[in-house]
Amino acid sequence: MTKYFAFVVISLLLIAACGSDDDPILINEEEVITDVTYTLSPVGGGDAVVLSFSDPDGDGGTAPTQIVSGNLSAGTTYEGRIQVLNSASTPPVDITTEIEDEAADHQFFFVPDPGLDVQLTYLDSDGNGDPVGLRTELRAGSFSSGNLVIILRHEPNKAAAGVGISTPASAGGETDIEISFPVSIGN
């Protein structure tokens, strides 16, 4: 029994000695997102429509602000670009760059209310050919209004059955941010 105990103690000491304090510990911190701007520029030219969200103090505290700069024009195609910031940091950090660098781990989803006549398409992809959503195309249909929900997921299953630009339910992953913008299509 004593030989067995001595063997176990020596084995544990050898295992512990094999580790190195110099081995790096990789930590992938979640992004802190305080500002999101979705700029929709008409493909043929004209004034952009900007959907912006800002919550500089994060959850709690002061309520976030949301601004939609105007109505979309019926029958118009827009190129959309998203910018994501952490303005709580000094200086502010452009999270858009992190999303681009870690594109395989991120995906934006755009979920319009059923009454809002828009069609959305991804214009960008990660290194695996899967969508990211920092660049999109939005086609505004007939006069209508409703909410457009923008969702950023971290580590979604982009290849899961049923996952599309407006159907994030099957993607899984963690929601980094979810914002609902009131959108109208007019003249």
Q: How many domains does the chain have?
A: 1
**3 in a structural domain:** no
**130 in a structural domain:** yes
% the chain with pLDDT above 70 = 83
**10 in a structural domain:** no
Q: Distance (Å, rounded) from C-alpha 61 to C-alpha 83?
A: 23
Q: What is the pLDDT of residue 143?
A: 98
Residue 11 above 80 pLDDT? no
145-182 tens-digit pLDDT: 999 999 999 999 999 999 999 999 999 999 999 999 99
**23 in a structural domain:** no
The CA-atom distances, in angstroms, between 164 and each of 117, 169, 170 are: 17, 9, 9
Sorting pLDDT into bands at 50, 70 and 90, what band is 50? very high
**122 in a structural domain:** yes
Q: What is the pLDDT of residue 30?
A: 62
For the chain, what is the mean pLDDT?
Answer: 87
Average pLDDT over residues 4-26: 41
Non-local CB neighbours of 13 within 8 Å, separated by 6+ positions: none
**110 in a structural domain:** yes
Q: What is the pLDDT of residue 187?
A: 79
**127 in a structural domain:** yes
SS3 18: helix
Out of 41-45, 88-92, 94-98, 112-116, which region has the weakest mean confidence (pLDDT)?
A: 88-92
Q: Give the domain range for residue 172.
A: 31-186
**15 in a structural domain:** no
